[in-house]
Amino acid sequence: MSPASRVVEHTVRARLIAEPPATRSLTAALRYDSADPFAVRLVFPPHIALDGGEVCWAFSRELLEEGLCHPSGDGDVHVWPWQVHRTVVELHTPEGAAVVRFGSTDLRRFLDTTYALVPRGEEQRGIDLDAGLAELLREV
C-alpha cells in the first residue's frame, strides 16, 4: 500500500438468500482503498465460508454504482436493484453461486464516501504506472 493510500471500510447488514428457510442475516464489510481506486471489496466473515476463512470479492466500483440503478455485471459478479430499497449482489464460483441482498442506502452511503476520497473520473490520477511497472519487473 502506498503512503498516500487511504482506506474506507463500512460494515453493512446483508441477507444471504438461499433455499427457504435457509436464508439468513449476516454482517459484511465493504472496503475501498485509494491505492486501488477502481475496485471495491466485499468481505464476508469466516463463519460464512465453507473452509472457515474470510472471503473477499473484488469488483469494480462502477459495477456497484450501476447495479444500484439497473442490472449490471458480466462474469462472476452481478448487481441489480431489487424492490424499492434493496440491491442484490450475485457472486459466481466454479462451486456455485451466492446471492446476497443489501440495503441500497448502505451501498450508496459507502459509494459516496469512496467518491469523496477519489472522485469519479479521477481514479487514474493516483496511479503511478512507472512504480507499478518497476515492481512488476522486479518480480520477474
Region 68-73 average pLDDT: 98
Residue spans of beta strands (DSSP E) within 47-95: 55-60, 77-82, 86-93
Write out pLDDT tens, residues 116-139: 999 998 887 755 555 655 666 776
- At 2, the pLDDT band (50, 70, 90 cuts) reads very low
Task: Answer whether CATH 2.30.31.20 is correct for domain 7-139.
Answer: yes
Residues 6+ apart with CB under 8 A from 93: 76
Q: pTM, whole model, 2 decimals?
A: 0.83
Q: What integer pLDDT is reported at residue 96 of this predicted model?
A: 84
Tens-digit pLDDT profile for residues 85-121 = 999 999 998 888 889 999 999 999 999 999 999 999 8
Which amino acid would we find at residue 6?
R
Residue 81, pLDDT > 80, answer yes
Measured CA to CA, the distance from residue 103 to residue 80 in angstroms comes to: 12
What does the block give as the cell for 135?
A: 515492481
Mean pLDDT to the nearest integer, 28-56: 90
CA distances from 118 to 41, 54, 62 (A): 15, 27, 13
